[in-house]
Structure 1
Amino acid sequence: MTFADLGLSDFLLEAISQAQYQSVYPIQQEAIPLILQKKDLIGLAPTGSGKTAAYVLPILERLQKMPSVQSRSVPVLVLVPTRELAAQVMEVFKSFGDFLPRKIKTMAVYGGVSINPQMMNLHGTEVLIGTPGRLLDLVSKNSIDLSQVEMLVVDEADKLLNLGFKEEMDEILSRLPKKRQSILFSATIDSEVEALMAKILVHPVKIEVGQDTITPELINQTAYLVSPENKGPLLRFLIQEGDWKQVLVFTSSIRTADNLTTKLNKNGIQAMAFHGDKSQGARTEALKQFKAGNVRVMVATDLAARGIDILHLPHVINYELPRSPKDYIHRIGRTGRAESAGEAISLITEEDRHHFKVIQKKMKRFVELVDASNLGF
């Protein structure tokens, strides 16, 4: 199966070629024809499965056959949980859209930045990607009209609900036309996601690619049993001994992220922190520098576990374990993407051992626990 078999125009096939997509992911193979057929869709797929292109490509294809918009009405609405994912999805739309004969105006709206430039630029937007809170702010100011939405995409539905956006989602849905195409993607399904599916989807086709409990085979997982006081020295040893150039380190708190970043820099390992207490500008700059390879280590809270797509990221380290096994899977899913091998390492204290066993049981995969004292820690 190739992209040429999926009903996409030559313009988009050229865009796909320029993006150097080597093969069609299973989620793309199944979703693209269904979205072109205007079917409602529920897509269950683990992180790194290629789902963004699975809806971006057919939406752009359909928009080419629709008249351009010169009003506050938006034909395509994409709801996402985080600012970073909003910006990332916008870039995917723009990168593919650049090859189309009719230009599609795409815009991302989110909090943490001034609302005024967003308000001024909304007119004529055909694809609006947004976080629920900022979207409702714009609606309340009559800057955008949701009554003409023809295609709704809810991306990372489980994360949206986990972040407490249920009321905002209900408010947005109440403003949408009943007759529309709805597409929902989620890594997991629980009772809240099921309730949302029942609200927005009509006779949906369900696509399930893999399971959220199974991590990509390209990720090599290792864990080190280490005392709390030796975590920092062990982390620095691993980075320096392995000569790792690009490492994403996860902590469970903002305070730990900041402290760890300071210690890494003091020890000659260039690092930047990435978390919710940082301004949007600081977060954008940290991600930019990390992606470009100008910063060796990015220390992040779970804000970064989803919605940040860094191709060929070789190393992810759990400095602290997350509470949820699902969050563990999403964290390590930042590596092993785009058919590239990756390594995920967890630093485990005696207190963590039981919780780590629960995580392994959930993902149905055994991870070797190496005694760090053998390395001198």
Structure 2
Amino acid sequence: MSFEQLGISKQLCEALPSQGITKPFPIQENAIPLILKGKSVLGIAPTGSGKTASFILPILEKRQHLSYKNSRNIPVLILVPTRELAIQIEAFVKSCTSFLKRPVKGMAVYGGASINPQMKNMMGTELLIATPGRLLDLMEQNALSLSQLETLIIDEADKMFQLGFEEELQSVLKEIPSASQYILFSATLNDKVEKIKSTLHATFETVEVKNETETVAAIDQLAYYVTPERKGPFLRYLLKTEITTQVLIFVSSTRTADNLVVKLVKNGIKASALHSKKTQGARNQTLQDFKDGTIQVLISTDLLSRGIHIDLLPVVINYELPRSPFDYVHRIGRTGRANEKGKAITILTVEDIHHFKVIQKKMKYFIEPIPTDGIDLNKF
């Protein structure tokens, strides 16, 4: 099936090859026709399954055929949990707009950046992509109006709660008048997501594709056992002898991320850290440098465990385990996206073994850690 068969116009389809999109994925095949019909949709799909295009394409398809009076009345609101995801969606929207019959302005607003330019650029925005906190700030400043809202989209709905945005999200929902269409996308379905559904008082069509454990099974996973003092040298050994491509390394704290960068750079490995204590400008530049290939190794906290698409990322390393098994799945889901091959490596010490067993039990996927005693790490 093609995107045109799903109801996406030929000119909008022409925007997709530049984004590496050649044919619809299952979530897109199921969600796009429903959204085009104006249905409220709950989409449950793992990371890397094409959720963004699932809602952006039909929304742009509909908007290009509608008239819009240049104003601060927002017809389409997209709520997201992180600044990076907001920026990514905005970039996808902009990549499509030049192919539309009528220009449709999309803009991302988020904290960590000056609010004044966002307020000034609000005029004429049809698709507003926002984090909950910054949206509330803009609403308090009367920078926009949601009185004529037609479509509300909440992306990564479950992550909103994991990141502690429940109160802000509920505050936003209280201020939103009844929209004609609601769209929720989430990697998991839980009580919190059900709570959002009940708050919105809408009848949802549920679309669910390929569960997380199937996605995990499609990624080549390896685990290595090391003693604590050999952990750093073993990572450098991997990066210098086994991994010649770009790699995303996950750690549990900003301090570990920064310390790891210092040690890797000292050993001649181009690396940079990405975490919440970096300024937004620095975060944007670091992520872009990694995407451009300027940086070989990107070290991140769970800030990037969801919602960020990095084309053809071949390897992910868990230098430290996350607390939640779900976060483990989302971390390794940065590789092996959209049917591409990927590898996920986890480095374990004795204190990690029990927790790793818990993660594997939740995944229903078991990996036998490989001992590293016989590897000479003196040079690393």
TM score, norm. by length of structure 2: 0.97
Q: Distance in 1 between matches of 2:206 and 2:370?
A: 41
1:170 maps to a residue whose letter is Q
Instruction: Give, in angstroms, the shift of residue 164 of structure 1.
Output: 1.5
Within the alignment, does 1:107 sit opposite 2:68 as a pair? no
Worse overlay, 106-115 or 333-342: 333-342
Task: Report the secondary structure of 2:183's partner residue.
Answer: strand
**Corresponding position of 1:233:** 233
Q: Does the aligned pair in 2 maintain the 1:225–1:369 contact within 8 Å? A: yes
2:241 maps to a residue whose letter is E
Listed as ranges, the matches of 1:327-338 within 5 Å are 327-338=327-338
Listed as ranges, the matches of 1:31-110 within 5 Å are 31-110=31-110
Listed as ranges, the matches of 1:146-295 within 5 Å are 146-200=146-200, 202-295=202-295
Change (3 A) 1:164 1:351: same
Q: Does the aligned pair in 1 maintain the 2:217–2:365 contact within 8 Å? A: no
Q: Distance in 2 between matches of 1:35 and 1:217?
A: 30
Instruction: Give, in angstroms, the shift of residue 201 of structure 1.
Output: 5.2
1:208 maps to a residue whose letter is E
Task: Report the secondary structure of 2:272's partner residue.
Answer: strand
Change (3 A) 1:299 1:172: same
2:300 maps to a residue whose letter is A
Instruction: Give, in angstroms, the shift of residue 17 of structure 1.
Output: 3.9
Worse overlay, 339-348 or 16-25: 16-25
Instruction: Give, in angstroms, the shift of residue 69 of structure 1.
Output: 3.4
Worse overlay, 136-145 or 20-29: 20-29
Worse overlay, 11-20 or 118-127: 11-20
Task: Report the secondary structure of 2:22's partner residue.
Answer: coil
Q: Distance in 2 between matches of 1:186 and 1:157?
A: 5
Q: Distance in 2 between matches of 1:367 and 1:334?
A: 19
Q: Distance in 2 between matches of 1:2 and 1:375?
A: 50
Q: Does the aligned pair in 1 maintain the 2:213–2:365 contact within 8 Å? A: no
Q: Does the aligned pair in 2 maintain the 1:48–1:338 contact within 8 Å? A: yes
Q: Distance in 2 between matches of 1:20 and 1:320?
A: 31
Aligned pairs, how many?
A: 377
Worse overlay, 367-376 or 261-270: 367-376
Change (3 A) 1:175 1:238: same
Task: Report the secondary structure of 2:34's partner residue.
Answer: helix
Worse overlay, 217-226 or 15-24: 15-24
Q: Does the aligned pair in 1 maintain the 2:47–2:307 contact within 8 Å? A: no
Q: Distance in 2 between matches of 1:372 and 1:118?
A: 52
Q: Distance in 2 between matches of 1:189 and 1:367?
A: 26
**Corresponding position of 2:366:** 366
Q: Distance in 1 between matches of 2:146 and 2:172?
A: 8
Q: Distance in 2 between matches of 1:306 and 1:20?
A: 19
Q: Distance in 1 between matches of 2:243 and 2:323?
A: 30
Instruction: Give, in angstroms, the shift of residue 18 of structure 1.
Output: 4.3
1:305 maps to a residue whose letter is S
Instruction: Give, in angstroms, the shift of residue 54 of structure 1.
Output: 0.4
Q: Distance in 1 between matches of 2:246 and 2:356?
A: 25
Task: Report the secondary structure of 2:38's partner residue.
Answer: coil
Q: Distance in 2 between matches of 1:282 and 1:308?
A: 16
Tell me the C-alpha RMSD between the 2 structures.
1.3
Q: Distance in 1 between matches of 2:124 and 2:3?
A: 30
Task: Report the secondary structure of 1:240's partner residue.
Answer: helix
Listed as ranges, the matches of 1:295-334 within 5 Å are 295-334=295-334
1:274 maps to a residue whose letter is L
Q: Distance in 1 between matches of 2:307 and 2:209?
A: 19
Q: Does the aligned pair in 2 maintain the 1:42–1:183 contact within 8 Å? A: yes
Q: Distance in 2 between matches of 1:362 and 1:281?
A: 37
Q: Distance in 2 between matches of 1:370 and 1:201?
A: 51
Task: Report the secondary structure of 2:215's partner residue.
Answer: coil
Identity across the alignment (%): 54
Task: Report the secondary structure of 2:239's partner residue.
Answer: helix
Q: Does the aligned pair in 1 maintain the 2:248–2:299 contact within 8 Å? A: yes
1:11 maps to a residue whose letter is Q
Q: Distance in 2 between matches of 1:120 and 1:161?
A: 30
Instruction: Give, in angstroms, the shift of residue 376 of structure 1.
Output: 3.5
Task: Report the secondary structure of 2:136's partner residue.
Answer: helix
Gaps of 5+ in 1: none
Q: Does the aligned pair in 2 maintain the 1:69–1:125 contact within 8 Å? A: no
